[in-house]
Homo-oligomer: A and B are copies of this chain.
Amino acid sequence: MGNFKGHALPGSFFLLFGLWWSVKYPMRYLCRKNKHVCYLASNSGYRRLEIIEGIVKAAFALIGMTAEQFVPDGPHLKLYNHEAKQWDHLMNWQHSTMYLFYGISGIVDIIVHITPAVPLAMDRLMLAIAIFIEGFLFYYHVHGREMLDIHVHILLLVAVFGASIGSFLEIFFRGNILLELFRASLCILQGSWFWQIGFVLYPPSGNSEWDQKSHNNMMFITMCYCWHYAFSLLIVAINFAIVSWFLLSGSRLRGECSNHEPLSYKTPVA
């Protein structure tokens, strides 16, 4: 959807998931490390949570697909315009396709935690594929647009392909907190960058548009992207700190600290 809302909607989805991941993974990591008794550390609790996450993901994808298809100027499931002899609303169809793969990823998330027959790491492989498809479609999406428009979308690809590679590595290094936080930070970056794209290409306040051909604007946008990532890293760090403080003080209050070994510095492997 070539307007502000069409970028704000997926941006919010990504932000929500990124923020959730930046809370979930540190919580699980710290619970396990300190042998805390918490909901996330138990396997059945964790599994239930993952299933809910999968349902939410699939629901978001369904909302996105429906929105793309049935907005007033959408294709309404019509792919080919026989009168004009050309494809109809290809942009919306491409966006629907992106949502479709995230939907599949959500369904796979649910399946792997319900059926023991399916290998667990399948969810990470499917996530890597879904993210890759998003990047793949974006890459060919911007063909023939203006310089700044192309540039803001191409910058997005760095986060997209980074997250895809990270997810793929998680197949082999499942449960590696660093890869998980890396994915969370890139997800937040994607989310905030979608909002930024909306503000740059379709200023909602009715301001004058950005000069699409200015070399200066392009230089600024590149730098701005890095600032978004610094901001995203900061959020992940703050969430990690909050979770860590919360778990530590919680266990102190309940006097559980005496029952298990306290937070201690592990000797580095190196």
Contact = CB atoms under 8 A, between A and B. Distances in A.
B269 A175 contact: yes
A16 interface: no
Contact of A268 (B30, B46, B218): B46
A48 to B, nearest CB: 12
Query: What size tier do the contact residues of chain A reach?
Result: 35 or more
A116 B219 contact: no
Contacts of A46: 268
A119 interface: yes
Interface string A87-130: 10010011001001100100000000001111111100110010
17 contacts: A28-B270, A33-B117, A47-B268, A93-B223, A97-B226, A100-B230, A101-B230, A116-B264, A119-B178, A120-B266, A122-B181, A125-B181, A129-B229, A129-B233, A137-B226, A141-B219, A175-B270
Given A143-B215, A215-B144, A269 B174 contact: yes
Given A94-B223, A174-B270, A175-B270, 20 more contacts: A28-B270, A43-B268, A47-B265, A86-B216, A94-B219, A94-B222, A100-B230, A104-B230, A116-B265, A119-B178, A120-B268, A121-B178, A133-B226, A136-B158, A137-B222, A140-B218, A140-B219, A141-B219, A143-B215, A175-B268
A100 B233 CA distance: 12
A244 interface: yes
Given A136-B226, A233-B104, A43 B120 contact: no
Interface string A145-187: 0000000000000100000000000011111111001100000
Given A133-B226, A133-B229, A269-B175, A218 B143 contact: yes
